[in-house]
C-alpha cells in the first residue's frame, strides 16, 4: 500500500516536526506546502527536507481559500496515480484510528482492503493532565487524553487516491442564515 501525506502549513513550527515524523512513522511519503510562514517553520522544513518527497513555498499573498483546490488539482494531475491512499489532516492534526490499540497505518490497511473509499474523522480536543509527562517534547507522545469536540462536524481526512476530488476549505464564520 503506497501512502501519501499532505501538509499545508503556516506558522506551526512547534508541531511541524512531530507532524512530519508521525506521518513518516505511518509509512507515508509527504508533500508539504508552506503558506508564507514567519516563525521557525522554514527552519524546520529545511532541517527535515530529506524526509519530504516535495516542498513548495506559497507566498502569503496567495488566497488561503484557494490553497485546498490548488493542492487538490496538483494531487489529481501529478500524484494520485502513484499512490493508493492519501492522508490530508491539518498540519496540527495527528490522524489515528478509533483507538490507539494499533497504528494509524494499521487501520489504513484495514480500510484499504475494504470497499470503502474514505475515512471520516471526528474532531478531538486535547488537554494535559497529571498523567502526561511535561518533559516529553513530542505532542503526540505526551498528550494521551482527549475528548470529542461536540460543535465540530466530522471531516474527511483520508481517502483512496483514486477518489481524490477538488477539496474546498469551507468556513461558516461570518455567514448569515
Domain contains 174: no
pLDDT of residue 127: 63
**Residue 44 located in a structural domain:** yes
State the total domains in the chain.
1
pLDDT at 151: 67
Per-residue pLDDT tens for 96-150? 888 778 999 999 999 999 999 998 887 666 666 777 777 887 776 766 655 555 6
Strand partners, 148: 124
pLDDT in tens, 66-95: 999 999 999 999 999 999 999 998 777 888
Give the CA count within 13 Å in the CB-facing half-sphere of 27. 13
Buried b or exposed e, range 39-53, using 16+ CB within 10 angstroms: eebeebbeebeeebe
What domain range includes position 108? 3-163
> Does residue 170 form part of some domain?
no
Task: Tell whether 90 is covered by a domain.
Answer: yes
In a domain, 66, yes or no: yes
For the four alpha carbons of 114, 115, 117 and 121, in that order, the dihedral sign comes to negative
Query: In this structure, is residue 169 part of a structural domain?
Result: no
For residue 142 the three cell numbers come to 505526551
In a domain, 176, yes or no: no
Residue 177's pLDDT band, with cuts at 50, 70 and 90, is very low
- For the domain that residue 122 is a member of, what is the CATH number? 3.90.550.10
Q: How far is it, in rounded angstroms, from Cα 7 to Cα 90?
A: 6
Instruction: Tell me how far the alpha carbon of residue 8 is from its chain's centroid.
Output: 8
Q: The whole model's pTM is what?
A: 0.84
The answer to whether residue 88 is domain-embedded is yes
What whole-number distance in Å separates Cα of residue 6 and Cα of residue 28?
Answer: 9
Amino acid at each position: 500500500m503506497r501512502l501519501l501525506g499532505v501538509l499545508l502549513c503556516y506558522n506551526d513550527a512547534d508541531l511541524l516536526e512531530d507532524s512530519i515524523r508521525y506521518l513518516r512513522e505511518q509509512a507515508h511519503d509527504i508533500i508539504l506546502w508552506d503558506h508564507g510562514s514567519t516563525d521557525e517553520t522554514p527552519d524546520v522544513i529545511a532541517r527535515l527536507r530529506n524526509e519530504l518527497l516535495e516542498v513548495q513555498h506559497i507566498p502569503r499573498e496567495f488566497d488561503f481559500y484557494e490553497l485546498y483546490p490548488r493542492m487538490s488539482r496538483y494531487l489529481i494531475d501529478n500524484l494520485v496515480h502513484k499512490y493508493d491512499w492519501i492522508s490530508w489532516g491539518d498540519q496540527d492534526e495527528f490522524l489515528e484510528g478509533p483507538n490507539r490499540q494499533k497504528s494509524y497505518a494499521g487501520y489504513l490497511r484495514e480500510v484499504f482492503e475494504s470497499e470503502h473509499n474514505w475515512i471520516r474523522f471526528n474532531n478531538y480536543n486535547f488537554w494535559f493532565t497529571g498523567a502526561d509527562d511535561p518533559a516529553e517534547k513530542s505532542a503526540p507522545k505526551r498528550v494521551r487524553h482527549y475528548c470529542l469536540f461536540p460543535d465540530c462536524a466530522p471531516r474527511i481526512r483520508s481517502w483512496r487516491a483514486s477518489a481524490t476530488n477538488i477539496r474546498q476549505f469551507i468556513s461558516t464564520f461570518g455567514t448569515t442564515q
